Structure 1
Amino acid sequence: MPRPPTAITTRTWMNAHVRVLNATYEDFDLVPAARAVVLLVEDLALTLVEHSPRFVVRSQHVAIPLPRTIQLFEYVHTPPRPTIDDDTRASFAGVLARDHYRCAYCGVAGATTVDHVYPRSRGGNNSWSNLVACCLTCNNAKSDQTPEESGMPLLWVPRTPRTDRKRQHTIWRELTPHL
């Protein structure tokens, strides 16, 4: 369920954040509202989605509705991000977040440990495909066995998180009614 929008006031509008899209509608950055207003005033960007509830930023000569999403007029080249795949080294915090702190063996919420699907004692690594969130009880029960040996099958297959792709899909969904 979406959270209700926070009321913006003359004292708090600069604390808001605005999503910036490149000229190609790709996610570019999240910037403070003050920076977004500067980009709009300098005609470097246009507002795609206004903040809701509506709030107008005023100066002596200008009144600009506070944006929620803006798009740059000119394409800004960004260096390619490193490719992350299932064999890339993962952090324990990243694994817990990817699995939403749910145990991959029993499904209980609140997992606090990370388990190596293929045990480190047998050459298992710290990759996205070999780590899962796990509750302490299941982690102790599985010990240094594979899921098959311990009789504890995985509830899902561990994969690399696709946060960039998910964020871009969210942006497209938000923009669809406005374009």
Structure 2
Amino acid sequence: MNTRVRVLNATYEDFDVIPAARAVVLLTEDLAITLVEHTPRFVVRSQHVAIPLPRTIQLLEYVHTPPRPVVDDDTRASFKIVLARDHHRCAYCGDAGATTVDHVYPRSRGGGDNYGNLVAACADCNGRKADRTPEEAGMPLLWVPRAPRTDHKRQHAIWRELTLSN
């Protein structure tokens, strides 16, 4: 019972992750249905009810949530998230283990700290590029920096899980 259960809104959109005990309460009060059962199968029992422990539940009625802030390429970025977005892989040479973040368009020339202007870079490439653009340094980018799309990735993972469970 110390597991967590994914909750989907009535529209199958990711809503929350809650403790299993709370999910069982939602199921017993007929506020949600089980979409995916926990594996290995575990049944939660009371005197009158036996409910298989869920891994994913869906709310029966839509719950309005306030819109999340839009994160796009012009949004101010943190270096930690840029490194995670690029999987600590250098955007110039492709080597793993990048520990620094480089401004594609140098900050000294007006380049900002936004997702569209920051990439992970190894210390060697970052130092070699210095205060130049990738074109000036002769170091083309291996990919175009974009804002992370974690909501879309999480939603696709949910749809994949639901497809595989049926």
Partners of 1:19 and 1:34 in 2: how far apart? 12
State the partner residue of 1:5.
none
Matches within 5 A, 1:108-147: 108-147=95-134
Q: Alpha-carbon deviation of 1:31?
A: 0.9
State the partner residue of 1:91.
78
State the partner residue of 2:162.
175
* 3-state SS of paired residue (1:115): strand
Aligned partner of 1:156 among 131, 134, 143: 143
State the partner residue of 2:65.
78
Structure 2 unaligned runs (5+)?
none
Q: Alpha-carbon deviation of 1:173?
A: 1.2
State the partner residue of 1:102.
89
Structure 1 unaligned runs (5+)?
1-12
Q: Alpha-carbon deviation of 1:60?
A: 2.7
* 3-state SS of paired residue (1:121): helix
The AA in structure 2 aligned to 1:38 is V
Aligned partner of 2:8 among 10, 21, 31: 21
Are 1:50 and 2:37 matched, yes or no? yes
Partners of 1:138 and 1:86 in 2: how far apart? 23
Partners of 2:89 and 2:69 in 1: how far apart? 28
State the partner residue of 1:60.
47
Give me the identity figure in percent.
79
**Deviation string for 1:120-162 (max 9, x for gaps)?**
0100001100000111111111111111111111110000111
* 3-state SS of paired residue (1:25): coil
Q: Which runs of 4+ in 1 moved over 3 A?
A: none
Q: Alpha-carbon deviation of 1:177?
A: 4.1
Q: Alpha-carbon deviation of 1:79?
A: 0.6
Partners of 2:20 and 2:99 in 1: how far apart? 36
Partners of 1:17 and 1:38 in 2: how far apart? 13
Length, aligned pairs only: 166
- What TM-score results when the alignment is normalised by the length of structure 1? 0.89
